[in-house]
Amino acid sequence: MIDGYAQNGRPNDALILFRQMLKAKMKPNEATLLAVLSACGQVGALESGRWIHSHMQYNGILVDARMGSALVDMYCKCGSLEDARMVFDGIKDKDSVAFNAMIVGYAIHGFSQEALELFNNMCGIGLNPTEITFIGILSACAHAGLVSEGWSVFNAMKDQYGIKPKVEHYGCMVHVHFIGTSIWERKLWNYSSNEALQILELMFFFRIYMLQLAIGMGVARVRAMMKQSGVQKEPGCSSIEVNNKVHEFLAGDLKHPKCKEIYVMLKEISGWLKGHGYLPQTEVVLHDIGETEKEKSLEVHSEKLAIAFGLISTQPGTTIKIVKNLRVCPDCHAVTKLISKITGRKIVVRDRNRFHHFVDGSCSCDDYW
């Protein structure tokens, strides 16, 4: 049941059931631990993950390559690269899965050089990289804008390791070339017509979408296209762990027990922001509503609710860690930078693409995500 929850988008329920299991004096086996570590990673429950790791050590549970890889993956997704690297270094017989977990972890945190160095170490000891390895490395190149390195890795994947690129790899290359589109035409000549077509299709739809938004005519059309295709927008959800309990928020959420205090803090935050010259980026709101309504909509985005809850629920100076299921919007990104500067807090946000470490008004992504 725990594994079922973890694999079907209900990680919080998996953690709750795991706690009930322990209260019932039942001993978790390897399958249970792998599932609950996955659940911790999904919601960024670092405190719970550390407790489970300690539980394993206390009970003498062997951390082999498989369990070690699960711990590395969990720590990376929960925002602690230090813990992840410590576990990784302690794995005796590292396999490609263990290397992949650490490489992908470095990539999503924006530590591109560390990811590339680990990739070279992996190849140096005779381990063959896999499709996932190259997704991690290409993502690392994309996050850092390493265009030439990205092409070098992409070519090696095909020519040296015989791995046929999939849509995920092409997607990474599109991301890589978002800041280097001038060399697209020249590079495409080196690929088969089918490969070039796949890349061009990705670029075509991406550029059409961005163009329509840029000229202010795309909202209605994009929404109409989505409806015609049966595509529904996934609701934004942000979670934060406080005292070993994961709290989840949707945009405009009013269900939390501390809802009143959260909205009081949001109002206080709004005053801080105005005092620092903040202007709401209402252009990111795609609904056909007035400017005032758009501003109100932005104020209650899920990550802002989670940050407000973090501010009222943790000690000053404590790092606030948020996990969001979607890409963070430009307005929330700008607001979080300001909040980190005003409060002196480090705020770590994991969105669908990567980790963002906000410190003193700056973000580790350098505003490129």
Query: pLDDT, tens digit, for every residue of 191-248?
Result: 555 655 565 555 555 554 444 444 444 555 555 665 666 656 678 899 999 998 999 9
Tokens of 74: 């969990």
From 58-62, 86-90, 125-129, the region with the lowest mean pLDDT: 58-62
Per-residue pLDDT reduced to its tens digit, 65-95: 999 999 999 999 999 999 999 999 999 999 9
Tell which wins on pLDDT, 186 or 151.
Answer: 151
For the residues 287-291, what does the mean pLDDT come to? 72
At 61 the three-state DSSP class reads coil
Q: Which of 80, 58, 67 is nearest to 37 (CA)?
A: 67
- Per-residue pLDDT averaged across 169-180, rounded? 76
pLDDT for residue 114 is more than 90: yes
**pLDDT for residue 135 is more than 90:** yes
Who contacts 288 (Cβ-Cβ below 8 Å, separation ≥6)?
A: 219, 220
> CB of 57 within 8 A of CB of 95?
no
pTM, entire model: 0.78
366 pLDDT band, cuts 50/70/90, is: confident
In this prediction, residue 148 carries a pLDDT of 87
DSSP category for residue 318: P
The predicted structure's pLDDT at residue 184: 46
Instruction: Tell me which residue of 246, 227, 228 sits closest to 237, measured CA to CA.
Output: 246
54, 146, 177, 247, 351 from 149: Cα distances, Å = 39, 5, 11, 40, 25
Residue 189 has pLDDT above 90, yes or no: no
Alpha-carbon gap, residue 15 to 37, rounded angstroms = 9
79 touches 348 (CB < 8 A): yes
Residue 250 tokens, joined: 């949707």
β-pair type (347-350, 362-363): unpaired
- Is residue 49 exposed (0-12), middle (13-18) or buried (19+ Cβ within 10 Å)? buried
Query: Could you tell me the CA-to-CA distances from 310 to 90, 169, 270, 326, 343 in Å, in that order?
Result: 33, 36, 16, 19, 12
DSSP letters along 74-98, please? HHHHTT-HHHHHHHHHH-SS--HHH
**How many helices and strands in the chain, by DSSP H and E?**
18, 6
Span 293-314, mean pLDDT? Answer: 94
Please say if the pLDDT value at position 170 is more than 80: yes
Question: Of all helices (H) and strands (E), which one includes residue 362?
Answer: strand 362-363
pLDDT in the model for residue 334: 95
Cβ partners under 8 Å of residue 266, min gap 6: 299, 300, 304, 305, 308
Indicate if the pLDDT at residue 178 is higher than 80: no
Better pLDDT: 56 or 290: 56
Q: For the chain, give the mean pLDDT.
A: 87
Closest to 172 in 3D by CA, of 138, 223, 148: 138
What pLDDT is stored for residue 230 in this prediction?
A: 64
> Please, what sign has the CA dihedral across residues 149, 354, 274, 235?
positive
